[in-house]
Structure 1
Amino acid sequence: MPSNLYTLDNSIVQSEMARKSDVPSPYYGEPSKFDPTFRGPISNRSCTDVFCCVIFIIVILGYIALGTVAWLHGDPRKVIYPTDSYGQFCGQKGTPNAKKSILFYFNILKCANPAVLINLQCPTTQMCVSKCPDRFATYTDMQLQYQITAAPWEYYRLFCKPGFNNPTKTPTHACGCVYTCMQAHTVHTHTYSTHTHTHTHKHFCNYGSFIMAIVSCSGITGLVDAKEVGMKIVEDYAASWNWILIGLVIALVVSLIFILLLRFTAGLLLWFTIIAVILVIAYGIWHCYLEFSLLRQQPGADVTIVDIGFQTDVTVYLHLSQTWLIFLIALCTIEASILIILIFLRRRVWIAIALLREGSKAVSYIMSTLFYPIITFLLLAICISYFSVTSVFLASSGDAIYKVMAAEPNCMYANKTCDPETFNKTNVSKTCPGAQCTFAFYGGETPYHRYLFILQLSNLLIFLWLVNFIIALGQCTLAGAFASYYWARRKPQDIPTCPLFSSFSRAIRYHTGSLAFGALILALVQMARVILEYLDSKLKGASNVAARFLLCCLKCCFWCLERFIKFMNRNAYIMIAIYGKCFCTSARDAFCLLMRNVVRVAVLDRVTDFLLFLGKVLIAGSVGVIAFFFFTHKIPIVQEDVPTLHYYWVPLLTVIFGSYLIAHGFFSVYAMCVDTLFLCFCEDLERNDGSPEKPFLMSAELHSILRKTEHH
C-alpha cells in the first residue's frame, strides 16, 4: 500500500471515531458521508446557473456592441488634442495647425469667471499657436513701436486671428493679451516680487490685469512643470526599457527558483525568508535613526515636506530630518508587527510552513499550474485595453457645440447654441455687436449623447464583472487541478492526464454561469465602493460632518463586505470545481464546511498569507536593491552600460513594482493550492476515519500537522 494510504493505530482511529460521533451543529449542516466511489472532481456533471450564463453572454455581446457604437461616434483626437474657437485641433498632423500644438487664450483671466462652470465655456477667443509668449507685449506698445520698426508687429501678429494684417487698425477681439509668466522669487516672508510696468493700457491689457496674470502664473507654471516631468519620465522609459525588462526577467527566474526550492527545503527557506526580512528591516531602522540624528544637528534640515512641496529630485527629501523620521516610524511599526506575529503565533507558523511544504508537492506534480497566471494576465490585459479604449471613445463621442460669445453681458443671445457656417447670416451680430460663434464643448442632443454618462457607468460595471470572472475562472481551474492531486489514491499514478487543462475545460463548459454569478455579486459591491469614493471626493470640502461620517461608515462596511465576498467566492469556486454544483449551493456547502472546522480556519487562513507575503517582499526587495545599485552607477562592472536618466527612480520603482507583481502571480498559485488542500483535508476527515475500510487520502505528515490545530 502506498505511503499516503496508511492505517493509523487503534488509538488514533478510536479518537477519530469519537470525534465523528459528536453531533454536529444543526446550523452548519451534516458532515460528508463516506463514499467508496468518490475520486475527487466528479466527471458526471451538468451545466449550472444556465440563466446567469445566458445573461452573461448577452452582456458580453452588448459590450461588444457598445464598443462598436463608441468607435463609430468617438474621436480620440478630441481628448488628445486641444480645440480652438473654430473647432479645429491643435497640433494634428496634416492640418494647418500641425506645428501649432499649444492652445492660446486671448484673456485667460476670463476663464476664472464662475459662469464658466455653468455654461461650460470660457468667454474668450482661443487659437492654436506654435509657442507660448516669451515677452510682455500690448497692442498699444506694438503700435507705438511699429512706427519705428516692424519687428514688434511680426511678433505680436502670432497671437492675432488669421487674416488680421493691419497693425494700425484697432482690433475688435482680433488679438490677445500677450503676457509672459515671470519667475516668482520667494523670500522668507513668502511674498513675491515682480517687474513693474509704469504705463496704463486702457484699450486691451491694463496694468491690473498684468499683475493678476503674473500672480496666476504660479499655477500655470506648475502645469508646465508637470508636463515637462511627464516628458522626462517618458524619455527615461525609452532609455531604460531594456534594463527594466532584464530586471523583470531576473524577478521571474528568482521567483521560479524560490518555488522550486520550496519543494525540498520549505521549512529552511521560509525561516530564512522570515529572518532575512527581520534583519533587513532592523538594518533599515538603524540607518534611518543614524541619518535622523545627523540631520537634526544640521541647520535647515528641520524644513517639513509640506514646505518644499513636490520635487522631482527625490534626493531633496533625503536632506530633511522629517523624511527619515517617517521612514523610522514606518519600519519600526512593520518590525514590531512581524515580531508580535512570530511570538504569539509561532506554533501556527510551524503548521503553516508544513502546509506550504505539502502544497509544494502538489505544485511539483502539476508544474503547468505555475504558468497559468500568464493566461490570467493576458485575459486581464485584453479586458483592460478594451475598457480603456471604449472609455476614451465614449468620452470623445460628442459633437462640436458652438455657442454665442457676446461682448456685452446683457446680450439676449449670449450662450445660445449657434452654427458657425450660418452665423454671419443671422441678426445676432447686429443685435449684439462683437458677438462671435465659438466652439464651447463636445456634446449633443441625441438619445445617445444624453445617455453617455449611463453608458460610461455600464462600461465600468461590465469591466468589473469581466475582471472578476477572469479571476474566478483562474481560481476554479487551479482548484480543480489541485483537487485532482489530493483525491488521487496513488500519487502520481492516479493523477489524471493534463489535470489543469481538464479543469479549465470543465469550468468553461459547465460552470460559466456559476462563475459569472459570483463575479457579478462582487462587481456590484465594487461598483458601490467606486460610487462612494466618488462621493467622498466631492464632499471633501464640505462642512457637513454627519454626511462625512455616514459616508466613512458606508465605505468601511462595503470594504468589509467585499473582503468577505471574495473569501466566500474563493471557497465556493473550490467546491464547484470538485462537486460541480451551482454557485449558491457550493457557497453554502463551503461556508458550512468552514464553520464545522472553524478552529483550523482561524489558525491557517492568514498565517500562510503572511508567509507568502514575506516571500514576495523578499523577492521584490532583492531585485529592487540590485536595480538601485545599477541605476545609481554603484556596480563598477556595468557602469558604462547604465543609461543616462533624468530620474533614476522611474525605472527603479517600475522594476520593484513589476517584480512584486511577478512574485504575486507565482505565489497566488501556491495560495490557491493551500486553500484547496485545506478544504479537501476537511472533507477527507469527514468522509474517512483512517481505518482500513476508510483510509485517509492525505499524507501522514499532513494529517499529523493539521490535527494539531485542534489543540492550539
Structure 2
Amino acid sequence: MKAEETEPESKFGDSRKYDPNFKGPIQNRSCTDVLCCVLFILALMGYFVVAILAWSQGDPRKVIYPTDSKGQFCGQQGTSLEKKPLLFYFNILKCASPLVLLEFQCPTTQICVEKCPDRFLTLVKAKRNDQDLQYYSQFCKEDVDFTLTTPELLRDRACPAMIFPSKPFTRRCLPALETRKGGVVVIGNETSFSDGNTMNVNATDLLEASKKSNIVLEARQVFMRIFEDYTQSWHWILLGLLVAMVLSLLFILLLRLLAGVMVWVMIIMVLLVIAYGIVHCYMQYVQFRGQPGADVSITDLGLQTDFSVYLQLQQTWLAFMIILCIVEVIIILLLIFLRKRLQIAIALIKEASRAVGHVMSSLFYPLLTFALLALVIAYWAITAVFLSTSSAAVYKVFNSSECEFSRQTCDPETFNSSNISSLCPDAECMFAFYGGETFYHRYLILFQFYNLFLFFWCVNFVVALGHVTLAGAFASYYWAFKKPEDIPAFPIFSSLGRALRYHTGSLAFGSLILAIVQVIRVTLEYLDHKLKGAENRFAKFLLSCLKCCFWCLEKCIRFINRNAYIMVAIYGKNFCTSAKDAFFLLMRNIIRVAVLDKVTDFLLFLGKLLIVGIVGIGSFFFFSGRIKAVEIILHSTIIYAHHLHTILLTLMHIHLHIHSRAHATPFISYTPHLIYSALQYATCSYAASHTHAHAFLLCTLMPPHAHARSPAHLHRSYTRSCLRSCARTHLHVRPTHA
C-alpha cells in the first residue's frame, strides 16, 4: 500500500523542496538553446532574401485585375483598358470543358469591356440593324471589319456568336441566371435561347459553365472583396475595437474590486444576451415565414459575396436559433455541474486581478504582441502575393476539339502564321498562366513553402515571447515577500529583456516544433482538398485519421509549450528541461489542473463572450439604422450590409485574441501554473507568510504529498486544515467547510 502511494511521485519525478532563499525568477542565468537561436537567425536572413527576390520579380496587378487573352490587365489605370474593368467571355459554354480544371483557363477568347451585355442578341441579327451592330461592337475585338461575312468574323474570332444578359461578378461578366420555383433556371425570363448558329442553348448549360469558369476565382475574389470592404470601413472597425477595449478595462477593474459579484453578474448577463439572441432569431424566422424567396435553402443559394443575402433566408435564422439554443443549454449544464468549483475559481480570479493591479503594464503588452503579429502577417501576405505574381506570361494552344498541339506553349505574335493554325483551325494561342523556365521560376513553389513555414515559425515565436514575458512579470509578483516594495520597477520590460537576451533559442525551439506540425496539417488539408473527388475510401479514411492525429498533436504541443515557457521564464533552463519539468509538474497535479484551470478558463470566456456580445449587438443596431441619432451618418458613409457581419467576425477574432492575451493570460494561463510551481517549494507555513488571498489559493489548489490519500478526501481534509492554519496566522482567511 505504501509503495502504491509513492508510485505516482517516482513516475512523474519528485516535488521540489522548499527553498527560503528563492525570490522569484532567477537573475543569474545563461543563454539556452544557442544552436536553435543561430538557426532561427539564419532562417530569417533567408526569409529576407526570398522576400527581396519576390518583390523585385512580382506584380500584384495580376491578382487585382483580370487578364484578357493577350495577358493585358482589365481596368488598369494609365492604359488603354482603364475604362474597361470587366472581362467578357466570347463563348462561356466552353468554360464547362474539363480543360478549365487542368489549365485554370476557359478555352475561349476573352476581352475587356466597359459593361456587361443586358440583352439577347446574335451576330447575324446585329448585322441587319446599324443600331444593334453599334451595341454589339463593344463586345468584339478592337478595329473589327464588319464588312466581312459572319462566318469570316467567327473564324477570325473577332466577335462572339451571341450575347446574353450578364452581370458583373468578381470583375467578370457571368450569365444573369435566376432559379424559379420548382428549380427552373432562367436567364432574362427565358429558359433557352439561340446561340447564333441556329441552335438553342439551355440556361442550365450556362449555369454549369459559370460554375466552372469561377471555380478557381471564387476564393481569391471573395477575399479581395472582403479586403476592399475593410478598407472602406476600417474606421468603424477601429471604433468597435476601441469600445471593446474600454469595456475590457472597465471589466477588469470591477473584477478586481467585486470578483464574486462580477462573476455571477457576468454569468447571468451572458445567459440573458444569448436568450435575447434566441428570441431575436425566432422573431426573424417568423417574419420571413411565407415570404416569397425566403424558403430557398442555403445550399441552393451557394456562395455569395453579399452576405446580407443570407439574412433574407428563413433557414439562416433557424440555424442561428438552434446554435444559440445549444450554446445556452451547454452553459447552463456546465454551471450546474461545476458549481462547487466556482468559488475556488472566483478566488483565483480575485488573486489574479490583484496581480494585474500591481503589474498594470501587462494590460498593454498584448498591444505589442498584436502589432508584431500584424507585422508578420502583413510581411507573409505581401511576400506571398509577390511570389504568386512574379512569373512571366505563358501562352498555350487552346482548342475545344481534339488537337495534338493542345496545351503546348505558343507565341501569340507568330501563331497565325504557324502551321498549328492550319492543322487545328479552331485552335487559338491564349494567355494561360504566369510561369517561367528560369531557376527562380522552377523553384517558385519551394519559395512559397518556405514563406509559409517561416510564417508559422515567426507567429509562434511572437506568441511564445508573450508567454515568457508575462510569465516572468507575474512570477516577480508572486515571489515578492512585500508587495509592492519587492516587485521590480518595470517587471514587463525586465522580463522581456531576459527573454530576448537569454532565451531566444528556447523560444525558437518550441516555435519550430509547433511550426513543423502546423505545416504538416496544412499539407494534409491540401491533400484532402485534392482527394475530394476520389473514390478511394481507404485513402480518405487514412487521411482523416492523420488529420485527427496531427490536430491532437498540435493541441498537446501547444499545452506543453505554454507551460514550458513559464518554467523557462522562472528558472532559466533550456526548452527540453523546462518542458519535462512542466509536464511532470502538471501530471503530479493533473486533477486540479484539469478542473480549476478549465473552470477559470470557462469563467473568463464568459467575460469575453459578454463584451463581444454587447459590442456585437450595438454594432447590429448601429449599422442597421435602428439608432436614429446615427442614421444621417450612415447615409453619408460607404458601408455595405454585409460589413456588419465582417465587423462582428473581426471583433470576435481580434477581441478574443487581445482580450485573452491582456486579461485571460495573466488571469488564468499563468496564475494557476505559477502557483503550482510555487507550491513545489512551499508548505502551508510558507503560504502563511504571503498575502491572505495568496495563502488561500496556495492552500486550496495543491496540498503537499505527505497527505497522500484519495484525491477527493485529500482535497477536502487538507483544505480545512490549511485554512485553519492560515486563520491562526492572522491572515484573515475564513475557514470554510470544503
Which of 586, 590, 598 is the matching residue for 1:606? 598
Over residues 225-276 of structure 1, what are the superposed CA-to-partner deviations in whole Å (9 max), with x where a residue is unaligned? Answer: 9999999978876775444433322211111111111211111111110122
* CA pair 659-275 structure 1, distance change in 2 beyond 3 A: same
Counterpart for residue 706 of structure 2: none
SS of equivalent to 1:490? coil
Q: Report whether the alignment pairs 1:157 with 2:137.
A: yes
SS of the residue corresponding to residue 491 of structure 1 reads coil
| d(CA) in 2 for partners of 1:626, 1:255 | 15
Deviates more, 1:507-516 or 1:283-292: 283-292
Structure 1, 469-478 or 180-189: larger mean CA deviation: 180-189
Q: Write out aligned runs for 1:155-304 (5 A).
A: 155-169=135-149, 170-171=152-153, 172-181=156-165, 186-192=179-185, 195=190, 201=196, 205-208=197-200, 219=211, 241-285=234-278, 304=297
The Cα shift of 1:641 comes to: 3.3
Query: Secondary structure in 1 aligned to 2:431?
Result: strand
Q: Is the 8 A contact 2:74 2:81 kept in 1?
A: yes
The aligned counterpart of 2:711 is: none
CA contact under 8 A between 1:24 and 1:30: conserved in structure 2? no
Contact 2:90–2:110, Cα closer than 8 Å, also in 1? yes
1:63 maps to which of 35, 39, 47? 47
Query: Aligned partners of 2:411 and 2:547: how far apart in 1?
Result: 47
Alpha-carbon distance in structure 2 between the residues aligned to 1:60 and 1:513: 13
Question: Who is 2:727 aligned against?
Answer: none
**Counterpart in the other structure of 2:334:** 341
Letter matched to residue 671 of structure 1: A
1:373 equivalent to 2:366? Answer yes
For the Cα contact (< 8 Å) 1:49–1:513, is it kept in 2? yes
2-structure distance, mates of 1:419, 1:300: 50
Classify the secondary structure of the residue corresponding to 2:112: strand
- Could you tell me which amino acid in structure 1 is paired with residue 354 of structure 2? K
- Alpha-carbon shift at residue 661 of structure 1 (Å): 2.8
Superposition pairs for residues 285-684 of structure 1, below 5 Å? 285=278, 304-306=297-299, 312=306, 314=308, 317=311, 320=314, 322-405=315-398, 409-410=402-403, 413-423=405-415, 427-429=419-421, 436-643=428-635, 647-651=640-644, 653-655=646-648, 657-658=650-651, 661-662=654-655, 664-673=657-666, 674-684=668-678
CA 1:222–1:579 in structure 2 vs 1: closer, same or farther (change >3 Å)? closer
Match of 1:689 in 2: 683
- How many pairs align? 682
Q: Mean alpha-carbon deviation: is it higher for 468-477 or for 209-218?
A: 209-218
**Conserved in 2, the CA contact under 8 Å of 1:444 and 1:450?**
yes
- In 1, are the aligned partners of 2:95 and 2:209 still within 8 Å (CA)? no
Residues 571/77 of structure 1: CA separation in 2 closer, same or farther (3 Å cut): same
Distance of 1:447 and 1:47 partners within structure 2:
40
State the alpha-carbon separation in 2 of the partners of residues 287 and 404 from structure 1.
Answer: 57
Aligned-residue offset at 1:93: 1.6
Shift of 1:187: 4.5
Q: Aligned partners of 1:243, 1:606: CA distance in 2, in Å?
A: 34
- 3-state SS, counterpart of residue 432 of structure 2: strand
* Cα distance in 1, alignment partners of residues 17 and 578 from structure 2: 17
SS of 2:635 mapped into structure 1: coil
Task: Give the alignment's Cα RMSD to 1 decimal.
Answer: 3.6
Residue 528 (structure 1) shift: 1.6
8 Å Cα contact 2:96-2:212 kept in structure 1: no
TM-score with structure 2 setting the length: 0.83
Secondary structure, counterpart of 1:168 in structure 2 = coil
Rate the CA distance shift 1:523–1:252 in 2: closer, same or farther, 3 A.
same
Q: State the match for 1:128 in structure 2.
A: 112
Distance 1:213 1:157, change over 3 A: farther
User: Paired residue for 1:78, among 47, 62, 69?
Assistant: 62
* SS of residue paired to 1:104: strand
Q: How does 1:20-99 map to 2 (within 5 A)?
A: 25-99=9-83
In 1, the alpha carbon distance for the partners of 2:505 and 2:470 equals 18
Q: CA deviation at 1:92?
A: 1.4
Report deviation, 1:108: 2.5
Contact 1:184–1:192 under 8 Å retained in 2: yes
State the alpha-carbon separation in 2 of the partners of residues 689 and 541 from structure 1. Answer: 62
| TM-fit CA distance, 1:197 | 8.8
Are the aligned partners of 2:514 and 2:554 in contact in 1 as well (CA < 8 Å)? yes
Q: Percent identity?
A: 51
SS in 2 for 1:25: helix
CA contact (8 A) 2:687 2:694 kept: no
Structure 2 contact 464–562 (Cα < 8 Å) conserved: yes
Q: Distance in 2 between matches of 1:552 and 1:129?
A: 46
Task: Kindly state the Cα deviation for residue 323 of structure 1 after the two structures are TM-superposed.
Answer: 4.6
Secondary structure of the residue aligned to 1:154 is helix
Q: Is the 8 A contact 2:95 2:210 kept in 1?
A: no
Quick one: which amino acid aligns to residue 650 of structure 1?
A: H
Counterpart code for 2:674: C
Uncovered stretches (5+) of structure 1, i.e. residues with no partner? 1-17
Shift of 1:632: 2.8
Deviation of the 1:157 alpha carbon? 3.1
Distance apart, 1:292 and its partner CA: 6.3
Provide the C-alpha distance between the structure 2 equivalents of 1:122 and 1:636, rounded to a whole number of angstroms. Answer: 50
Alpha-carbon deviation of 1:443?
1.0
* Structure 2: gaps spanning 5 or more residues: 167-175, 702-713, 717-738
- The whole-number CA distance in structure 1 between the counterparts of 2:508 and 2:224 is 41
For 2:730, the equivalent position in structure 1 comes to none
CA–CA separation in structure 1 for the residues paired with 2:228 and 2:58: 30
2: CA distance between counterparts of 1:206 and 1:289? 53
Instruction: Give the whole-Å Cα distance in 2 for the aligned partners of 1:198 and 1:110.
Output: 16
Contact kept in structure 1, 2:61 and 2:73, CA below 8 Å: yes
What residue is the counterpart of 1:7 in the other structure? none
Listed one character per residue, the Cα deviations across residues 376-435 of structure 1 (whole Å, up to 9, x for unaligned) are: 11111111011111111111121111234569844x544432334455665555665676
Secondary structure of residue in 2 paired with 1:417: coil
1:3 aligned partner: none
Q: TM-score scaled by structure 1? A: 0.86
Report the Cα offset of residue 503 of structure 1.
0.5
SS of residue matched to 1:128 = strand
Within 2, Cα distance between the matches of 1:665 and 1:196? 53
Q: Structure 2 CA distance, aligned partners of 1:517 and 1:382? A: 21
Alpha carbons of structure 1 residues 116 and 342: separation in structure 2 relative to 1, 3 Å = closer
Check 1:648–1:437 CA distance in 2 against 1; reply closer, same or farther (3 A cut).
closer
Partner deviation per Cα, 1:157-205 (whole Å, 9 max, x = no partner): 333333332423433222222311376565543334555999885xxx4
The alpha-carbon distance between structure 1 residues 564 and 502, as it changes in their structure 2 partners (threshold 3 A), is same
In 2: Cα distance, 1:211 partner to 1:304 partner:
21
- From the superposition, tell whether residues 239 and 45 of structure 1 become closer, same or farther in structure 2 (CA, over 3 Å): closer
Gap change, CA 1:245 and 1:141, over 3 Å in 2: same
- Asked whether the equivalents of residues 620 and 657 of structure 1 are also in contact (C-alpha less than 8 Å), the reply is no
